[in-house]
Chain A
Amino acid sequence: MCLFFYFRDRKEWADLEPVPQDDGPNPVVKIAYSEKFTDVFDMFRALLKNDEKSERAFALTAEAIELNAANYTVWHYRRVLLQALDKDLREEMKYITAIIEDQPKNYQVWHHRRMVVEWLNDPSEELQFVAEILSQDAKNYHAWQHRQWVMQEYKLWDGELEYVEELLEEDVRNNSAWNQRHFVISHTRGYSDSAILEREVQYTLKQIKKAPHNESAWNYLNGILQDGGLSSYPGLLEQVTELQDTCSSPYLTAFLVDLYEDALETNSSSYDQQETLNKALELCKLLAEEKDTIRREYWNYVSRSLQNTEYITDMLQV
């Protein structure tokens, strides 16, 4: 660490009385701070106390942020100063870009960026910036929230599906990307368009063939077909059953159980009810006893439910 010229020694700061950390009347805590940290935050507290709105205060917030970017009070103060001093918000964008690149997993930095974008009413750099951050960590929850906000607020939907596909090419198990896929389509063409739905079903099955043990893909497939019902979607049972030999996984088996369950619940005439029940119970047993034993309680529950469903269906037929 290079030599630091403490604020308490700087003549331009001589008029301020540094305010030490106050941990209460009888501090249980006696902490040895690093000298620089003490210096900067004592000075910060002095500025806050005097409610000073000056360039030197603004400069100090940057020092404080560098030492502790999670300190939300410092960010608040910086925003107050940005407005009071009518600072150049383009410069602030450069600043917050650098901070986020350094510390991308922090609520305050992203919220600050959002505020600056709102003040400038200019989202033009945002998608590019978020893509850069995601290239370092494709699942950064804050980054994805920011991206979704920008897209919705400024209606920037074009090209996003392509972007999501790129990410899924890189990592087909990226749950955030699958979520984003759902987000984009729900807000644009929508899943009630049967051509879109079919495209998505086929896309998902294709990804499953590449990586069968992929929770996200199966959750997505299930999710988009929930409304219509799994058992009535044309050709779905055949396509999934076909995958069993080469692409078996507990998720595939679970999906079949869900599909059979749907057939039973809807009392679908395309399915032999008794045979379907037997198949479903067999799969639940396989999962509980062999393929997914850690969740045996869940599979036993599903078995019992299936049998209850059949009972109710029988009752209604009487």
Chain B
Amino acid sequence: GTQVKDVVIKPEAPNTLLLDKHADYIAAYGSKKDDYEYTLSEYLRMSGIYWGLTVMDLMGQLSRMNREEIIEFIKSCQHDCGGISASTGHDPHLLYTLSAVQILSLYDSINVIDVDKVVDYVKGLQQEDGSFAGDKWGEIDTRFSFCAVATLALLGKLDVINMDKAVGFVLSCMNFDGGFGCRPGSESHAGQIYCCTGFLSITGQLHQVNADLLGWWLCERQLPSGGLNGRPEKLPDVCYSWWVLASLKIIGRIHWIDKAKLRSFILACQDEETGGFADRPGDMVDPFHTLFGVAGLSLLGDEQIKPVNPVFCMPEDVLQRIGLQPDFQPSNRGKLSSSTNDWHTV
């Protein structure tokens, strides 16, 4: 049979963008007196804050967040080794180190932490084969390769790592279908592909990607409902509107997605009552999916939202302020050369 795994969007699903509701949702998140989910997610608090702040900034509502408190919080999360933890009383990790640096970049307050120690921490996580561990316990994943170079790029310190080996490792994770997994041989997955194309963009190596083959695999993620999945035969999820779309943008093939259909899927994932976005229509909302829904809409060109940078998932104006400019070539509609987004620090 040809039953495609997909969702059906109900006619009564939201079809207009409810930005004010989303801003209210995020502003109030974590301030409810009775929130078990918030407690449970303490182990990722730094990323949670990054998601909330970024989406608020994209909506022009950053001023509603408590800047001073967040900066103090981040200071308290830097450990002696230089790494930053998800929250106080947690261990440092590359994931939360990146989130912290992203937040401080948004707030133009990077020097409240010891930047040199952060750089040392990141450098120290690079392995013999060029890969990066997430922390001292040694889990290897291309997500961490991305976290490492994104962190260093934001700090203007890409030169401290062994770039050739780092690139070599990521390229060794390229699969027969043009995609990337978490380690060599791992199944291609849109989240990992975002990390790898982001990595290759930052390191100026996008020409190593087979943009046509990967672009095809990525646009194949689009289902009849208009939503995107993360790998074949899986349900659509609004966060893949980010992972897939940003990857396509990075390799210059975002026009291969049916934008109107994707937009209507993303809008259908909103909750008209509570604000926020869920993974798919009708489910419970959370800040993670809210950021990626809004960021996806920005990439699709919604003018009510600030332009978002597809590599860093941060507002473009922040990156311009820092001086991280893409060496942007317009998406090439011919086949003879692949489009590249090469980053370098101005």
Query: Interface on A for B, CB 8 Å cutoff?
Result: 19, 21-22, 24-26, 28-34, 37, 45, 48, 68, 70-73, 76, 79, 107, 111, 115, 139, 141, 144-145, 148-149, 152, 173-176, 179-180, 182-183, 186-187, 211-213, 215-216, 219-220, 222-224, 226, 249, 293-298, 301, 304-305, 308-309, 312
Contact = CB atoms under 8 A, between A and B. Distances in A.
A297 B43 contact: no
Interface of B: 1-2, 4, 30-36, 38-40, 42-44, 66, 69, 72-73, 76, 85-86, 88-91, 93, 137-139, 175-177, 181-183, 185-189, 215-217, 219-220, 222, 224, 226, 231-234, 255-258, 261, 333-336
6 A-B pairs with least C-beta separation: A223-B176, A305-B335, A179-B187, A213-B2, A175-B232, A71-B43
Contact of B185 (A21, A79, A183): A183
Given A183-B185, A294-B261, A223 B177 contact: yes
Secondary structure dominating the interface of B: loop
A144 B218 CA distance: 21
Contact of A141 (B32, B187, B261): B187
Contact of B91 (A76, A139, A176): A76
Contact of B222 (A34, A145, A294, A308): A294
B187 A111 contact: no
Contact of B73 (A24, A79, A179, A180): A24
Contact of B90 (A72, A183, A220, A296): A72
Nearest to A211: B1
A298 B31 contact: no
Given A215-B220, A294-B224, 16 more contacts: A28-B30, A29-B30, A34-B36, A45-B89, A72-B43, A72-B86, A73-B43, A76-B91, A139-B233, A139-B234, A141-B189, A216-B233, A294-B222, A294-B258, A295-B219, A304-B333
B208 to A, nearest CB: 16
Nearest to A258: B216
A298 B216 contact: yes
Contact of A224 (B30, B176, B255): B176
A31 B35 contact: yes
A37 B33 CA distance: 16
A148 B182 CA distance: 11
A182 B188 CA distance: 12
Contacts of B72: 24-25
Nearest to B233: A173
8 contacts: A29-B35, A29-B38, A73-B85, A107-B139, A141-B182, A148-B183, A215-B232, A297-B257
Contact of B176 (A25, A226, A308): A226
Contacts of B43: 68, 70-73
Contacts of A72: 43, 86, 90-91, 93
A259 B256 CA distance: 21
A72 to B, nearest CB: 6
A228 to B, nearest CB: 13
A54 to B, nearest CB: 19
A29 B41 CA distance: 13
A24 B69 contact: yes
Nearest to A112: B137
A301 B255 CA distance: 10
A219 B219 contact: no
